[in-house]
Amino acid sequence: MQLRQPTTVTEAQECLAQGAVPVGGATLVWATWQRDGFPELAMSLRGLPEATAVEPESLGAAVVLHRIDDRVPEVLRRAAGSVGTGAVRRAATVGGNLAGSSLRCLLPAALVLDARATVLGPDRPYETDLAEVMAKRHLLLGLRWRTPVASGYRKQPAEAGGPPPLVVATAVHADGDGRHRLRVAVRDGYDVLSESAGCDAGADETLDALERTDIGALPDGARDMVREQVTDILGPLAGR
């Protein structure tokens, strides 16, 4: 297998045109390649500046999970820190987790940040939403978002090899008029849903509003975890 490491977007497009298979840390595909055979040409984005940024409002797709630190919002840092083992986090990338994994451990965090994705199209990079990235498996270059007022993340303990653990991610955003809105994302099994509600009236009214969305149809255990997380994140913001 020949591995290319483009350093510009133009070089990355040329690699794709030549049939290069994009790889991140290869943590999800290595066993398949060993069984079915390795591709003739592969491509890593770790030499591409657009794909390696770690900034307060952006994160590159080629960033390995253990590099995600307090430069990014808490919800994203904690989501990355909960993935697998230390060895996995030193190899697995943001792009591989979001676009190549059925677990998509970073997806709830990205959704509550209202993140937008930059992907590499056949002619140029362009920005799109996460739903399109998930549906079409685009080549992800990175994520961008606005810094939230506050964020949080909770993941149930789970045994290795068992079903995906329940995850609740939250973030509070302020609009131009000073009003606040809470975004909540829940991973229940392999499904991820995201809802939002105004939150200036306090936790009780916010939870009542969320109960009228699809979150109200979640199992009792998941709804309890949502209530706990919403109360935790809104409590310190009361009176601001």
pLDDT recorded at residue 28: 58
* Block residue for tokens 């939250």: 170
Average pLDDT of the residues in 141-147: 96
Residues 6+ apart with CB under 8 A from 126: 118, 119
Task: Tell me, yes or no, whether 41 lies in a domain.
Answer: no
Question: What's the mean pLDDT when you consider all of the chain?
Answer: 89
Does 231 score more than 80 pLDDT?
yes
Residues 139 and 155 grouped into a single domain: no
Q: Tell me the CATH number at 58.
A: 3.30.465.10
Residues 87 and 201 grouped into a single domain: no
Task: Examine the fold and report which residue of 127, 144, 161 is the final residue of a domain before the chain moves on.
Answer: 144
Q: Is 117 helix (H, G, I), strand (E, B) or coil?
A: strand
Residues 55 and 120 grouped into a single domain: yes
Task: Examine the fold and report which residue of 79, 112, 144 is the final residue of a domain before the chain moves on.
Answer: 144
Please tell me what DSSP assigns to residue 49.
Answer: G
Residues 97 and 159 grouped into a single domain: no
Residues 110 and 124 grouped into a single domain: yes
Residues 123 and 158 grouped into a single domain: no
Does 3 score more than 60 pLDDT?
yes
Q: Print the domain residue range for 136.
A: 7-30+48-144
Q: How many domains does the chain divide into?
A: 2
Q: How many CA atoms lie within 13 A of 180 on its CB side?
A: 21
Residues 61 and 126 grouped into a single domain: yes
Does 235 score more than 80 pLDDT?
yes
Residues 89 and 157 grouped into a single domain: no
| CA-atom Rg of the chain in angstroms | 19
**H-type helices in the chain, by residue range?**
9-17, 30-36, 74-81, 86-89, 94-100, 107-112, 130-136, 203-211, 220-234
Tokens of 80: 């990355």
Task: Examine the fold and report which residue of 86, 121, 144 is the final residue of a domain before the chain moves on.
Answer: 144
Q: pTM for this structure?
A: 0.91
Least confident of 33-47, 106-120, 150-164: 33-47
